[in-house]
Amino acid sequence: MKDIIDVELKTRTVDFSKCKTDILTVGLFSDTKELDKLNKELNKNLNGAIDQLMELGDFKGKDGTSAVVYGNGQTGAKRVLLVGLGEKKKATLDTIRNAAAHAAKKSVELKAKTMSLALHKAFGGRFDPTAMARVCGEGTYFGSYRYDEFITENDNGRLGSLKVELIDPDPAKLKKLKKGLSSGIAIGKAQSYARTLANRPANVVTPAELAAAAKEIARGSQRLSCTVFDEKQMTAKGMGGVLAVGSGSQNKPRFVILKYSPPGKAASNLPTVALVGKAITFDSGGISIKPSANMDEMKLDKSGGIAVLGAMKALAELAPPVNVFGIVPSAENMPSGTSYRPGDIINTFSGKTVEVQNTDAEGRMILCDAISYAVKQKCDIIIDIATLTGACVVALGKYMAGLMGNDDRLIKDLQKASQVCGEKVWPMPSSEEYAKEMKSKIADLKNIGSRWGGACTAAAFLGQFAGDTKWAHLDIAGVWSFEKATEFTSEGASAFGVRLLTTYVTGLKKKKK
């Protein structure tokens, strides 16, 4: 798959003022009285233009704002883009990531061919240069992303490519930046890839197409292999959950397994992690059909599965010493004469039976088979990610994913990874009380609970398929998309989870406990 905008990221040793570029990006805090060394130098070259902007109050260094100063032949740069970083003491790596994203978005809008980032200069020694370069890479991809592949009329208002460089006059500094940048590129590229796959509509991305995309990812890497089960193979294996959900659609379900093997031989001493993602290519609700308003958004119901594909793509580049399975059950949830119905009792892959009380609670029906599959593969850790419940959106809004699980260490590690990668999570319960609600009178389980705590009962349902295996669940129903463009990215799919899952796996300790 071709990138929508071809972004190239490099490092370059060059004096800030002499750097020939369409846009030179620097950061400014809102609460420092004096300009830092770099901004002083630029201000002098620009005849006090930065001072003037600040004095007039046109730019105050506030978070999410920026201003353009024209170089006028006085600097190597045609434009200097001042990006606000907010209050100095509140700044985190997130601040830098968002600033880089903001600059990249502006660069695309201004149709710049080249953009040079010197954001790291504002932070002195406060953050590790490797980490700063990584977030600059991630942010550059995130901010420059747009989804316009189906616009054929006229001009789409952008160039086809953008060349970005991290610059510094000190070669020793650049060496450190370069190291971090390569992971930033791997993660950023994978996330943009995932955003495109998620944004594609359900007539384009069917379960079979999604499986083809997984195969293509595996073809691109020696460390990945891909197996796909079709309906026949799923029937033979008894994956009744995925088959039931897929039964109403002409677009037949698939069960996708990507396997990542680390470099070196001792893979059996290393932990094995399963990343399990819900990939409903369209969720109409099935026979328990959804209201028609905004139903088009349900093309994004494959976002969990696609986050897993994106993470596997990034992991293949980053080559951490861990065994990883990416398990993506995929189906289209449609109403028809062949659909599964409310009242049906389904034999799932685990052997447990599930009474269907609502065909719109389909995510858990496909995930339960995938989680059981991961248990059967003897994975040490299972993390599932899914656009699972509207209840999670009610609880947490559009800023954070719900995080549940059965192991405190795993939850803590995911929270830590969340802080590093900037994809926010919030802990929620999925304890025994919730699990009890999922007991059926005529089967082992039913697929919906009471009116209350829907995100928690859904998680508690899934937890029963993990058994004693360490398991965590990410409900990304709220964070799957941006409803509107923001200062740092365009609207549409977010591919939330690519950074979180990748960061978690690359942060794992080598030895199996």
The residues assigned a catalytic role are: 290, 364
**Three-class DSSP category at 294:** coil
Is residue 413 a contact point for ligand BES (CB under 6 A)?
no
The mark string for 425-454 relative to ligand BES (x by CB under 6 A, - otherwise) is -----------------------x-----x
Is residue 384 a contact point for ligand BES (CB under 6 A)?
no
Residue keyed to tokens 């802080």: 419
- Residue 290 is given by DSSP the state P
CB contact burial 121-149 (16+ within 10 A = b; e otherwise): bbbeeebebbbbbbbbbbbbbbbbbbbee
* Phi, psi torsion values for 99, nearest 5 degrees: -65, -40
Among Zn ion, Mn ion, ligand BES, none, partner that 391 touches (CB below 5 to 8 angstroms by kind): ligand BES
Among Zn ion, Mn ion, ligand BES, none, partner that 448 touches (CB below 5 to 8 angstroms by kind): ligand BES
The smaller minimum CB distance to ligand BES, of residues 140 and 387, is found at 387
Segment holding 307, helix H or strand E: helix 303-318
Beta pairing partners, 83: 27, 66
The smaller minimum CB distance to ligand BES, of residues 420 and 479, is found at 479
Q: Which residues contact 346 (CB under 8 A, 6 or more apart)?
A: 240, 241, 244, 340, 353, 354, 356, 365
Q: What single letter denotes the amino acid at residue 509?
A: K
The smaller minimum CB distance to ligand BES, of residues 393 and 404, is found at 393
Q: Which of the ranges 9-17, 101-109, 186-194, 389-397 carries the binding residues for ligand BES, by CB under 6 A?
A: 389-397
Among Zn ion, Mn ion, ligand BES, none, partner that 315 touches (CB below 5 to 8 angstroms by kind): none
Q: Which of the ranges 68-76, 172-180, 255-263, 361-369 carries the binding residues for ligand BES, by CB under 6 A?
A: 361-369
Beta 381-386 vs 470-475: how paired, if at all? parallel
The smaller minimum CB distance to Zn ion, of residues 323 and 359, is found at 359
Residue keyed to tokens 């990542």: 260
Segment holding 384, helix H or strand E: strand 381-386
Least distance to ligand BES, CB of residue 206, Å: 17
Q: Which of the ranges 14-22, 47-55, 356-364, 430-438 carries the binding residues for Mn ion, by CB under 5 A?
A: 356-364
With vertex at residue 181, the alpha carbon angle to CA 176 and CA 186, rounded to the nearest 5 degrees, is: 145
Beta 353-355 vs 425-427: how paired, if at all? unpaired
Listed in sequence order, the DSSP H helices in 13-128 are: 37-45, 49-56, 93-109
- E strand segments, 417-469: 425-427, 445-446
Is residue 246 a contact point for Zn ion (CB under 5 A)?
no
Which 255-284 residues touch Mn ion, going by CB under 5 A? Answer: 283
Closest among 233, 18, 224, 223 to 116, alpha carbons compared:
18
Is residue 475 a contact point for ligand BES (CB under 6 A)?
no
Is residue 396 a contact point for ligand BES (CB under 6 A)?
no
Among Zn ion, Mn ion, ligand BES, none, partner that 413 touches (CB below 5 to 8 angstroms by kind): none
The smaller minimum CB distance to ligand BES, of residues 68 and 289, is found at 289
Residues 7/144, Cβ–Cβ less than 8 Å: yes
- Residue 361 is given by DSSP the state -
Listed in sequence order, the DSSP H helices in 361-425 are: 363-376, 390-396, 408-421
Is residue 332 a contact point for Zn ion (CB under 5 A)?
no
The mark string for 301-320 relative to ligand BES (x by CB under 6 A, - otherwise) is x-------------------
Is residue 283 a contact point for Zn ion (CB under 5 A)?
yes
Q: Which of the ranges 94-102, 152-160, 259-267, 359-367 carries the binding residues for ligand BES, by CB under 6 A?
A: 359-367
Least distance to Zn ion, CB of residue 242, Å: 13
Closest among 248, 252, 245 to 229, alpha carbons compared:
252
Q: How many residues bind ligand BES (CB under 6 A)?
A: 16
The smaller minimum CB distance to Zn ion, of residues 281 and 506, is found at 281
Q: How many residues bind Mn ion (CB under 5 A)?
A: 3
Which 353-382 residues touch Zn ion, going by CB under 5 A? Answer: 363
Which 252-291 residues touch ligand BES, going by CB under 6 A? Answer: 283
Q: Which of the ranges 27-35, 147-155, 359-367, 487-495 carries the binding residues for Mn ion, by CB under 5 A?
A: 359-367
- Distance between CA 390 and CA 225 in Å, rounded? 34
Is residue 360 a contact point for Mn ion (CB under 5 A)?
yes
The smaller minimum CB distance to ligand BES, of residues 163 and 341, is found at 341
Residues 297/483, Cβ–Cβ less than 8 Å: no
Q: Which of the ranges 15-23, 353-361, 491-499, 503-511 carries the binding residues for Mn ion, by CB under 5 A?
A: 353-361
Beta pairing partners, 386: 475
DSSP readout, 148-211?
-TT--SS--SS-SEEEEEEEES-HHHHHHHHHHHHHHHHHHHHHHHHHHHHHS-TTTS-HHHHH
Is residue 165 a contact point for Mn ion (CB under 5 A)?
no
Rg, C-alpha atoms of the chain: 24
Least distance to Mn ion, CB of residue 294, Å: 13
Least distance to ligand BES, CB of residue 398, Å: 10
- Distance between CA 310 and CA 304 in Å, rounded? 10
Residue keyed to tokens 């970083």: 85
| Residues of the shown chain interacting with Mn ion in the complex, contacts defined by CB under 5 A | 283, 360, 362
| Residues of the shown chain interacting with ligand BES in the complex, contacts defined by CB under 6 A | 283, 301, 358, 360-363, 387-391, 393, 448, 454, 477
| Residues of the shown chain interacting with Zn ion in the complex, contacts defined by CB under 5 A | 280, 283, 301, 363
